[in-house]
Amino acid sequence: MHRIVILGGTTEARLLAADLQRHKPDLSVILSLAGRTAAPVEMPVVTRSGGFGGPEGLADYLRAEGVDLLIDATHPFANRISHNAALAVKTSGIRMLALRRAAWVEQAGDRWMKAASPEAAAAVLGQLPRTVFLTIGRQEAGAFSAAPQHRYIVRSVDPVEPPLDVAQADYILARGPFVESQEREFLVAHAIDTIVCKNSGGDATVAKLLAARSLGIEVVMIERPEPPVGVETVETVSEALMCIETIFSQPSSPL
Ligand code: NAP
């Protein structure tokens, strides 16, 4: 029986794991989570939680578990684990595939300002006070304490701890997917004039961008970090399934 480890924390990782579990009983699938979310979505596959201890720890784990294929289906901004994974398979000789959803692309009517990091995004907001919808996840929200002249509405899955060191901030806990009509109502109700988000791509959280386009609201778009080079990469779950099928239908080819 071939063994696959999926590095997850994304909808795609969950969907891929569930599909393999349902349709490929001859594969043993383990979904690996970082263990950051207090209440992760329940999964019908074997899961493990927590870091491996860097690339060496991951390589040891892959060897000890007899893993044939490592799939990096982590979030496009989870860059450390992606680089660790690329290093780990190099040293352990295990095959790897990355599943990384396509980035969003600016379209007619969008008013995007691009930033390379949360710190850069905080600076891009400028000196004049804005009402900002901050939706970059809880881990890096703290960078906006450097721009306390703005009012923030912060939306995240888990609470932002510690809260921003600013005079005006409200916190909303919510998990996507979100719907455009509700996002539009939300932006209007909070008098948002600027959204700050990461270029995560995908459908689950794109609704805020569609709403911003229709309302003419500015978006500070944090660009993706560079993924590791030389890793075979697909963008969708169905492409990943086809790739996996191909890999395991060639038993004589080196994995
Ligand atoms: P990161 O900075 O790339 O990784 C930090 C450390 O967390 C890694 O070095 C690794 O620890 C551990 N880790 C990360 N993903 C793991 C996984 N799937 N299984 C086991 N260990 C993992 O990652 P991050 O940005 O903190 O993201 C953490 C998790 O949240 C990821 O799984 C990602 O898919 C998900 N996520 C991230 C974002 C985001 O914007 N960054 C958004 C949505 C979901 P060791 O070095 O000890 O192995």
- pLDDT at position 124 is 98
What φ, ψ does residue 29 adopt, rounded to 5°? -115, 130
Residue 86: other Cβ atoms inside 10 A? 19
Is the shortest distance between the CB of 81 and ligand 1 below 6 Å? yes
* Alpha carbon nearest to ligand 1 atom 46, residue: 54
* pTM recorded for the entire structure: 0.93
Q: Residue 74 CA: which ligand 1 atom is closest?
A: 34
What does each C-alpha distance from 189 to 35, 107, 109, 181, 196 come to in angstroms? Answer: 34, 25, 21, 12, 17
- pLDDT at position 254 is 47
pLDDT digits (tens, 9 = 90+) for 102-153: 999 999 999 999 999 999 999 999 999 999 999 999 999 999 999 999 999 9
- pLDDT at position 38 is 76
pLDDT digits (tens, 9 = 90+) for 66-82: 999 999 999 999 999 99
Q: Which of 47, 81, 82, 139 to mutate to test the pocket of ligand 1 (most atoms within 8 A of CB)?
A: 81
Per the DSSP assignment, residues forming a β-bridge with 70 are 5, 96
The residues near 165 (Cβ < 8 Å, ≥ 6 apart) are: 145, 148
3-state SS assignment for residue 114: strand
Distance CA 153, CA 232 (A): 38
Mean pLDDT of the chain: 95
